[in-house]
Amino acid sequence: MLSYTCKSKVEADHLLGVKLDESNYDIVVGGDEPADVYKPDGTPLIRYRPGWFSDELCASVLSSCRKAAVKNNNRGAAAGDLEMVDLGTNRPLAERTKTRYRTLKEDGTVSNTVRAGEVNSGIIGFFDRSARFPFCRQTSFLIKQASAWKKFLPYIVRADEGFRELMPDRWAAQRAYADKTASDWVIPESTFTTVTINKNWQTATHKDAGDLQAGFGVMSCLRNRKYSGGFLCFPSWRVAVDFSHGCLCLADVHEWHGNAPLRSLRVGYERISMVFYYREHMINCKPVKEEVEWAKNRKRGGKLK
C-alpha cells in the first residue's frame, strides 16, 4: 500500500469555481493500489481502497445511479465559473456572482432561488429544511424511484462499513449525530442521511458545504474504461486520486477539491461518483408526523431551526 505525506500547503482560494487540469497536481495515487495520503501534521487527507464494493453490488446500483444523476442547477461553486458553463436557462439574469445567479420571474420580480450552472447530478436520501422547502423531507428520488432506492441500501451500508473501518474517530462522531436524529431521516444501518450522485461531470474547485464538519468525505465510483483522467484533485496539496470501478475513497472534502478533465473520451464513456454524508442540520428534524405539524404551524418567514 502506498503511504504519502504532502510536503506543504499551497494557497488555492483563487481557484474557486475553476476547473482544474494537470498543472494542479504533482502526484496521482489510487487506481488499483490502496493509498493513504497525509497532511504534514500527520492528519489524513485521503484514504483510498480499490475494489471495496463487489462487482455484484456495483452492478445492482448502476441503473439506479443513471436514473438519479439528472440535470439540475443547484450545485453551487462545483458547477464552475458561470462565464464557462451552460446556465440552462432562457430567463434574463437579475443577479450574478462568479458561481451563482438569480433570474427574473415572469412578473418582473427577482426569484428567491439561487442557481448555478447546469450539470448531471442528483441527490437521494433525505434533506433538511431550507427557505424554498421549509420542512425536512424525502428527496424526490425516494418517492418516484422506490424500487431503485431499495437497491441502493446495501451499497450505502457497505460504504458506512468502510467509513467505520478506515476513520473510526470521525465515524463515531457522525454516529453520535445520527443516533440523536429522528430515525425517519437517517439511512438505515448507516450514519448517512444523504447521497449525491454525479455523472460524467468535471466538478470545479469547491469545498463541500452542508455536511457534518465532524464527519469526513466518503465517496465511491462506478466507471468504465472508455475515458482517462477525471482524477479527484486537491490543489492545495498538489495530489490527485484516480478512482477505479467499485473503489472507496475517504477524503477531507473541506479542503479545496475538484476533478481533472475527462480525457480520451470514447462512445459510451461513463464515470459516476457517489458522495455519502450526514447533512448537519438533520439533527433539527422532528419525526415525520411531528415535522408535518411543525411545518403546517410555522409562520411564513419564521426560523427553520
CA distance linking residue 105 with residue 37, whole number of Å: 48
CA distance linking residue 6 with residue 236, whole number of Å: 10
Cell numbers given for 96: 450574478
Instruction: Give residue-wise pLDDT tens across range 64-74.
Output: 999 988 767 66
Find residue 121's DSSP bridge partners: 198
Closest by CA to 275, choosing from 13, 63, 30, 68, is 68
Dihedral sign, Cα of residue 82, residue 87, residue 90, residue 92? negative
Residues in CB range of 59: below 8 A, 6 or more apart: none
Q: How do the domains of the chain map onto residue ranges? A: 2-84+119-297
Mean pLDDT of 31-53: 98
pLDDT at 144 over 60: yes
Q: What pLDDT, on the 0 to 100 scale, is given for residue 21?
A: 95
Task: Please state, rounded to an integer, the average pLDDT across all residues of the chain.
Answer: 88
pLDDT at 27 over 90: yes
Pick the CATH number of 2-84+119-297 from 3.60.20.10, 3.30.2090.10, 3.60.130.30, 3.30.930.10: 3.60.130.30
Q: Indicate the pLDDT class of residue 81, thresholds 50, 70 and 90.
A: low
Max avg pLDDT among 46-50, 60-64, 295-299: 46-50
CA distance linking residue 217 with residue 278, whole number of Å: 10
pLDDT at 97 over 70: no
Q: Indicate the pLDDT class of residue 91, thresholds 50, 70 and 90.
A: low
Q: Indicate the pLDDT class of residue 102, thresholds 50, 70 and 90.
A: low
Q: What pLDDT, on the 0 to 100 scale, is given for residue 291?
A: 85
Closest by CA to 194, choosing from 122, 143, 254, 256, is 122
Answer whether 195's CB lies under 8 Å from 278's CB. no
For 1-109, where are the alpha helices, taking DSSP H only?
55-68
Residue with cell 458506512: 160
Q: Indicate the pLDDT class of residue 106, thresholds 50, 70 and 90.
A: low
Answer whether 295's CB lies under 8 Å from 191's CB. no
pLDDT at 165 over 80: yes
CA distance linking residue 34 with residue 5, whole number of Å: 15
Residue with cell 496539496: 237
Q: Indicate the pLDDT class of residue 300, thresholds 50, 70 and 90.
A: low
pTM: 0.88
Distances 13 to 77, 208, 220 between C-alpha atoms, Å? 12, 14, 26
Q: What pLDDT, on the 0 to 100 scale, is given for residue 80?
A: 55
pLDDT at 62 over 70: yes
Q: What pLDDT, on the 0 to 100 scale, is given for residue 90?
A: 61
Q: What pLDDT, on the 0 to 100 scale, is given for residue 294?
A: 74
Q: Are strands 258-259 and 232-234 parallel, antiparallel or unpaired?
A: antiparallel
pLDDT at 101 over 60: no
Instruction: Give residue-wise pLDDT tens across range 223-277.
Output: 999 999 999 999 999 999 999 999 999 999 999 999 999 999 999 999 999 999 9
Cell numbers given for 212: 457534518
Q: What pLDDT, on the 0 to 100 scale, is given for residue 95?
A: 61
